[in-house]
């Protein structure tokens, strides 16, 4: 399991001083990009080779609030990897409490928008996500 840390910025809070709900999707993306970097499958590499990886589904449940200056620890794991889709799970903890849990579902496309099977993309990437 990969862990990414995000410190809540003042501008990420709402008028009540609570982290705005829309930011949790951004936190998922930050953690996902760092996770993919850590396994050698960076977005930069994919895009420079002519591939994209759109989000096709996202889901989340809010458990507790966070506020300015809180440090959120975001755990990222692979929930499933099929021929064409990759599902990543996220758990966010702050001060010992689960504050958010969710997942994102992704596919990989070539320049023409055609789905690319993982095995055709990068064999080393497929090996990493199967680990």
Query: Is the per-residue pLDDT at 3 higher than 80?
Result: yes
CB 108 within 8 A of CB 59: no
Domain at 2-130: CATH code = 3.10.129.10
| Number of helices and strands in the chain (H, E) | 4, 5
In terms of pTM, does the model score above 0.85? yes
Dihedrals phi, psi of 127, to nearest 5 degrees: -60, -40
pLDDT band at 129 (very low <50, low <70, confident <90, very high): low
Q: Domain ranges in the chain?
A: 2-130
What whole-number percentage of the chain has pLDDT above 70?
A: 95
Q: What is the pLDDT of residue 60?
A: 98
CB 102 within 8 A of CB 58: yes
The burial class, CB within 10 Å (0-12 / 13-18 / 19+), for 35 is buried
pLDDT band at 5 (very low <50, low <70, confident <90, very high): very high
Query: Is the per-residue pLDDT at 127 higher than 90?
Result: no
Q: In this predicted model, what pLDDT tens digit does every residue of 65-121 receive, in sequence order?
A: 999 999 999 999 999 988 899 999 999 999 999 999 999 999 999 989 999 987 777
As a whole number, the mean pLDDT across the chain is: 92
Q: What is the pLDDT of residue 1?
A: 83
């Amino acid at each position: 399991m990969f862990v990414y840390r995000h410190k809540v910025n003042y501008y990420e809070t709402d008028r009540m001083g609570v982290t705005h709900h829309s930011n949790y999707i951004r936190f998922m993306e930050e953690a996902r990009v760092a996770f993919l970097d850590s396994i050698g499958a960076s977005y930069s590499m994919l895009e420079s080779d002519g591939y994209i990886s759109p989000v096709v589904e996202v889901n989340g449940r809010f458990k507790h609030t966070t506020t300015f200056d809180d440090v959120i620890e975001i755990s990222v794991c692979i929930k499933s990897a099929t021929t064409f889709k990759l599902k990543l799970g996220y758990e966010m903890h702050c001060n010992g409490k689960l504050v958010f849990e969710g997942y994102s579902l992704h596919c990989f496309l070539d320049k023409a928008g055609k789905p690319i099977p993982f095995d055709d993309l990068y064999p080393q990437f497929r090996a990493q996500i199967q680990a």
